[in-house]
Structure 1
Amino acid sequence: MTKKLVAGAGIAVLSLWAGSAMAREGRESSADMRGLTVQLGGGVEGYTSALGQDIDPGVAYGATIVLKPTKVVGLELGYSGAANNFDTQLPLTGTSGPDVLRNGAQAVATVGLTAAPLQPYVLAGLGISNYNVRNAAPGFQDDNVGLVPLGAGLRLHIGDFVADARLNYNLLFDQEFAGTVPPANVDLPGNETFSSGGSYTGTLNLGATW
């Protein structure tokens, strides 16, 4: 009797394990993790160091085209924008509404830490943004700013559907839109230099894969 119980328990455990493995394989096989993905998203964008003292966090938004030749590697080309207000301590003169509008483009590479449908990943890239200062403030003006985005995220594939949550920090270099911000102690080729203040962006992006 004991042997029959042990055998029965063993068969039950094996059956559960096999069923779980088959379900997991089914989810993985049905997840479209390769191909071309189009995503739209939004979230929050803010600034650090001296920039963070003068610019409040605001709304971020964007659209991205993602090419994944493998389940792990992704190449992205995207548009991103943000609308932020200056801190109320600054003496402002100008229009109402968002004080700083940013529009930019960036190219990013992502590398997944697993090949599973729920995939954590890291990212790095290069981009450029145009800052439109709508409300006059001391030390701020319209300018084009280069940036190096670095970050991490979590991507979920369910069939053709993709949900992507990410957080990245943007190293800004040679920005003149904030002339009062000192440069960092990192020199770049030519006359470029990183700013001592950067920006951060957290977004949730939804899309589909073809």
Structure 2
Amino acid sequence: MTRTLFAGAAVLTLWAGSALAQDRKESSADMRGLSVLVGGGVEGYTNQLGQDIDPGVAYGATIVLKPTKVLGLELGYSGAANELDSGVPLARTSGPDVVRNGGQAVATVGLTAAPIQPYLLAGVGLSRYNVRSSALAFQDDTVGNVPLGAGLRVHVGNFTADARLNYNLLFDQEFALAVPDSDINLPGDATFSSGGRYTGTLNFGATW
């Protein structure tokens, strides 16, 4: 699935380069305004969480407001379905064991003002984990996160395509009680879980 995601991003880049070679006028691309994107990809976990939870399918929808060609403000829904590793006691043998639904607010900053635009992103999010398996030490929980990442956005006319990869710092991992408590202490009594969540997606939509 990860190979498919990277292959899709490569095809997107090549296609965009070919299209823009025929029309290099930046004014022809709607880079400002309101965009609506939908897409999907892959989602997984790191450290001990990654050993207990297998990579799964990610999906989502995003509303993007771009007051300038460089700055973007996003509100998005994201979800994922993952299976627990076969080594987890009492894990299901088929079907998604952990279903995540969440939302996030993100700011993006473009590294160029061109229709093919690499960008950086950061924000804050909140997810609800629904554990459908009877596995020991896994439970339903609500977890906050900080998404950090990068992407490539392509504008051709009012068509918009987006490939991104982000890593989510989790405030806690109490939905997986079997994972040892190894939070990273930060100034001001703040903590982040040592296990994180990564997501890579391809998204398509339009800008008005």
TM-score, length basis structure 2: 0.85
Number of the residue aligned with 1:184: 183
Q: Percent same amino acid at aligned positions?
A: 74
Which stretch of the first structure deviates more once superposed, 197-206 or 176-185? 176-185
Runs of 4+ in 1 over 6 A off after TM superposition: none
Q: How many residues are paired up?
A: 188
Shift in Å, 1:179: 1.6
Q: Are 2:104 and 1:109 equivalent residues in the alignment? A: no
Shift in Å, 1:136: 1.7
Number of the residue aligned with 2:30: 32
Greater Cα radius of gyration, structure 1 or 2: 1
Matches within 5 A, 1:1-210: 23-24=23-24, 26=25, 28-92=26-90, 96-181=94-179, 182-187=181-186, 189=188, 192-210=190-208
- Is contact 1:96–1:135 with CA below 8 Å preserved after alignment? no
- Is contact 1:65–1:78 with CA below 8 Å preserved after alignment? yes
TM-score, length basis structure 1: 0.85
CA distance in 1, matches of 2:187, 2:132: 30
- Is contact 1:144–1:175 with CA below 8 Å preserved after alignment? no
Shift in Å, 1:178: 1.1
RMSD: 2.0
5+ long unaligned stretches in structure 2: 1-19
CA distance in 2, matches of 1:188, 1:146: 18
- CA deviation map 1:155-181 (0-9, x unaligned): 000000000000000000123101233
CA distance in 1, matches of 2:116, 2:132: 41
